[in-house]
Amino acid sequence: MPSAIQGQIVLNFNLFIFLDLWLDYFCPMISVFLKKTVGSRVALGHPWVFGNEIGRMEGEAQGGEIAEVKSHDGKFIGRGYINPKSQITVRILTRDKNEPINEGFFFSRILQAWEYRKKIGYTRNCRLVFGEADFLPALIIDKFDRYFVIQTLALGMEVWKPAIVRALEEIFQPSGIYERNDVPVRELEGMTQIKGFLSAPFDPLVLIEENGLRFEVDLANGQKTGYFLDQQDNRRWLAHIAGGADVLGAFCYTGTFELHAAHYGARSVLGLDISENAVAQANRNARLNGLESVCRFEAVNAFDVLKQWSRDGRQYDVVMLDPPAFTKSREQVPKALAGYKEINIRGMKLLKKGGFLVTSSCTNLVSPELFLQTIDQAARDAKKRLRQVTFQSQSPDHPILRGLENTHYLKFFIAEVC
């Protein structure tokens, strides 16, 4: 690290130590005491404290401040940010009594997340920070080579956005930082939706490379943060099954799976997505890789088309399904499962005997077991047998924190269908 930057960091730290002391003196810490009956989940490591778990509070919280979480009898459990407007009233940032929450805290947590990515070999394009699983609740940072996309999904994290941006600048000297906070979940925290540059403006259409293929990623207008990095390892599986195949990919977005299939030798590939923008981008990506003679994309409703084409008796060697999350609420899980069953029945019926079904689910409320049960039911209804090829999850740059089930959200299953 150049010494000028080091000097700057030391200066920043000194400034914040001073600010910290000042804040401690003039704004006494808010304390949240858990009810006696509900203390153990949080005490055992879960970072969320729900409103109905709080017995009493000391100090007044407007939202966004740092609070100490204590057991009913006053033992220190952790320190986190508080928002009385949110159902998740406190999200714990540290369980170390001696660790203050200040700009240095965010710098070192982001640095730790980066060190971890480097250790496991995810550096060029990766999810740099995956919220709770990186001990930075409600913060998402995706790294697309020299560009970064940030989401601050809770008020207490939003407050630290400038510190987070400065940490990225210091660690990476990025070419650009973009904020994709245009997500409804922010409204549950009393915040508005917003997107835009957090650095000097730049062309938000950036080029990335994955598995030897090139993709244009629209950081400003693409879905979520622009690109689904979580499937980056799973896409490589197509190398084993796509050679010489006629491939159908439903819910293709910008054609990532489809272009991998073509790259690994598919004879023909048809990708479907309801979004005209996604299809236009998929076509541009096909041209970018010289695969436009193999890959075609159509803007259609996949639910309708899968139904119709299976009735028409169309047949493929590989069918890929990667729909969006079907629900975010527990009450809607049965409906989501019915949706998965329906599209997977259609997918299986569209396969030649011995063809491969490549099917995903990113609904975090649907557990891996429940997803597999649903696929099994679909096979029974479609009168097919499945031979499992592989069952995987998200790539490890989206760490799964054991015990925090919503960090284990992606299911990726390949089966031979006979």
- 253 vs 297, beta carbon nearer ligand SAH: 253
Q: Which residues contact 393 (CB under 8 A, 6 or more apart)?
A: 368, 400, 408, 410, 411, 412
Q: Interface with ligand SAH by CB under 6 A: which range of 89-97, 269-277, 289-297, 331-339?
A: 269-277
Looking at the DSSP bridge assignments, the partners of residue 126 are 143
Q: Cα–Cα distance between 262 and 255 in angstroms, integer?
A: 10
Q: Interface with ligand SAH by CB under 6 A: which range of 50-58, 118-126, 250-258, 259-267?
A: 250-258
Closest residue by Cα to residue 227 from 198, 269, 259, 200: 259
- 55 vs 396, beta carbon nearer ligand SAH: 396
- 132 vs 210, beta carbon nearer ligand SAH: 210
| Nearest distance from C-beta of residue 295 to ligand SAH, angstroms | 14
- Asked if 264 touches ligand SAH (CB under 6 A), the answer is no
Contact 151, 180 (CB under 8 A): yes
- 89 vs 394, beta carbon nearer ligand SAH: 394
Candidates 12, 151, 152, 256: give the one binding ligand SAH (CB under 6 A): 256
Q: Running DSSP on this structure, what letter comes out for residue 324?
A: P
Which residue type sits at 88?
I
Candidates 49, 67, 248, 272: give the one binding ligand SAH (CB under 6 A): 272
Write the CA distances from 235 to 44, 71, 232, 414, integer angstroms: 36, 46, 6, 11
Q: Cα–Cα distance between 72 and 37 in angstroms, integer?
A: 9
| Nearest distance from C-beta of residue 267 to ligand SAH, angstroms | 21
Task: Give the 3-state secondary structure of residue 358.
Answer: strand
Measured CA angle at 303 (ends 294, 326), to 5 deg: 110
- Asked if 251 touches ligand SAH (CB under 6 A), the answer is yes
Q: Tell me which residues in 171-190 interact with ligand SAH (CB under 6 A).
A: none
| Nearest distance from C-beta of residue 187 to ligand SAH, angstroms | 22
362 is catalytic: yes
- Asked if 226 touches ligand SAH (CB under 6 A), the answer is no
- Asked if 275 touches ligand SAH (CB under 6 A), the answer is yes
Candidates 159, 274, 400, 404: give the one binding ligand SAH (CB under 6 A): 274
- Asked if 211 touches ligand SAH (CB under 6 A), the answer is no
Ordered DSSP codes for 16-33: HHHHHHHHHHHSPPEEEE
Closest residue by Cα to residue 237 from 222, 225, 247: 247
Task: Count other Cβ atoms within 10 Å, centred on residue 338.
Answer: 11
Site size with ligand SAH, rule: CB under 6 A: 20
Q: Cα–Cα distance between 179 and 197 in angstroms, integer?
A: 6
Which residue type sits at 181?
N
- 66 vs 261, beta carbon nearer ligand SAH: 261
Task: Give the 3-state secondary structure of residue 107.
Answer: helix
- Asked if 273 touches ligand SAH (CB under 6 A), the answer is yes
| Nearest distance from C-beta of residue 406 to ligand SAH, angstroms | 18
Catalytic residue among 27, 126, 362, 418: 362
Q: Which residue has the tokens 């994709």?
A: 180
Closest residue by Cα to residue 171 from 207, 198, 139, 143: 143
- Asked if 215 touches ligand SAH (CB under 6 A), the answer is no
Q: Tell me which residues in 356-385 interact with ligand SAH (CB under 6 A).
A: none
Q: Which residues contact 220 (CB under 8 A, 6 or more apart)?
A: 178, 195, 204, 226
Widest CA span of the chain, in angstroms? 74
Contact 223, 362 (CB under 8 A): no
| Nearest distance from C-beta of residue 324 to ligand SAH, angstroms | 4
Q: Tell me which residues in 287-346 interact with ligand SAH (CB under 6 A).
A: 301-303, 322-324
Candidates 101, 154, 278, 318: give the one binding ligand SAH (CB under 6 A): 278
- Asked if 253 touches ligand SAH (CB under 6 A), the answer is yes
Q: Interface with ligand SAH by CB under 6 A: which range of 15-23, 121-129, 245-253, 342-350?
A: 245-253
Measured over the CA atoms of residue 61, residue 63, residue 65 and residue 68, the dihedral's sign is positive
- Asked if 231 touches ligand SAH (CB under 6 A), the answer is yes
| Nearest distance from C-beta of residue 213 to ligand SAH, angstroms | 12
- Asked if 223 touches ligand SAH (CB under 6 A), the answer is yes
Residues taking part in catalysis: 362
Residues engaged in binding ligand SAH (CB under 6 A): 223, 228, 231, 251-254, 256-257, 272-275, 278, 301-303, 322-324
